[in-house]
Structure 1
């Protein structure tokens, strides 16, 4: 069990542990202070600690930016939904539990369309990334997460014993040279919901360059 998977379990998450670990690796590279602004913006620098990350997130929220934060890149439009704010979103367990809830919702949606677990899991990842059951298959996100799953060394909790269906299904054919991808900007969980759910991997960010003078 890796340190990240141990953290996920310690946070009370018992399903899809390996898959959530892979998602975190793709989304933030395991950086709990990761912050990304959605849209065509160029950012100045990445937060160095939780206090700075929270201050940046507060500024972005106050200025109307849509952003994604923390280990699993929870979207700012969903903070209230998960009982989070611009500070608590950077708390590891709170962020991971939000990710787990979204993945479960997406998995339940996918199972309504596919009986095959491997297809359903791929569709759930697509939903997690884009809010749509198939768009994430086309933008490379599902492939990136699957590669991250395959890169996890076999060991305890990798055989489905904790109900980790994704690793049980995908772990049967590990790749020797998996490529770690990066997340894509994504749409909503629901087909008609417009809020973005999770976002891109770590950005070099605080504010856009066009607003640099306002930040400093």
Structure 2
């Protein structure tokens, strides 16, 4: 896990156009500041009643994280990774990979692009964060 001071220094260096308080809160909620955090998204057809549809993993190394990702990919499930929980469906759009997203600065750079785009689409921070979470300005607010 990254300390608050380390995280904030990285946020200001790697995602300068997003206020550090915003990136700090997103990382706190999404990964608990664990740069190797992974959330496996279970397809709706495979979920049991009452399941949230997400399995969280908190490996302690990049190598362990990459093994988990490989297994998730073998199941053909989507997943989110790293400090800011970048979803695998965004990798191609931003020219990145799961391995690169385990680098805190690279993860913050991609999250900055997503957050800025979502803020512009949503028009305010709440709707922008909804978009970051769900892909649109409405779903995450509900």
Same fold per TM (> 0.5)? Answer: yes
Structure-1 separation of matches of 2:15 and 2:126: 24
Is residue 18–residue 115 contact of structure 2 (8 Å, CA) maintained in 1? no
1:214 paired residue number: none
1:77–1:129 Cα change, 3 Å: same
1:67 to 79, 87, 106: 79
Alignment: residue pair count: 130
Deviation at 1:15, TM superposition (A): 2.8
Moved over 3 A (4+): 40-46
What runs of 5+ residues in structure 2 fail to find an aligned partner? 48-52
Evaluate the alpha carbon distance shift between residue 89 and residue 108 of structure 1 in structure 2; reply closer, same or farther with a 3 A threshold. Answer: same
Structure 1 residue 79 corresponds to structure 2 residue 82: no
Which residue number corresponds to residue 27 of structure 1? 30
Q: What is the match of residue 127 of structure 2?
A: 123
Calculate the TM-score normalised by the size of structure 1: 0.55
RMSD: 2.1
Match of 1:135 in 2: 139
Give the strand-richer structure, 1 or 2: 2
Larger relative contact order (C-alpha < 8 A, sep ≥ 6)?
1
Following the alignment from structure 1 to structure 2, what is the Cα–Cα distance between the partners of residues 66 and 75?
A: 7
Would the alpha carbon gap of residues 130 and 12 (structure 1) be closer, same or farther in structure 2, given more than 3 Å must change? closer
What 5-or-longer segments of structure 1 have no aligned partner? 112-119, 139-216
| Structure that is richer in helix per residue | 2
- For each residue in 1:116-166, what CA deviation from the matched residue of structure 2 results, as whole angstroms up to 9, or x when unmatched? xxxx1111111111122122222xxxxxxxxxxxxxxxxxxxxxxxxxxxx
State the Cα distance separating 1:71 from its structure 2 match.
Answer: 0.4
Contact 1:126 1:137 in 2 (8 A): yes
Larger radius of gyration: 1
Contact 1:5–1:21 (CA<8 Å) still a contact in 2? yes
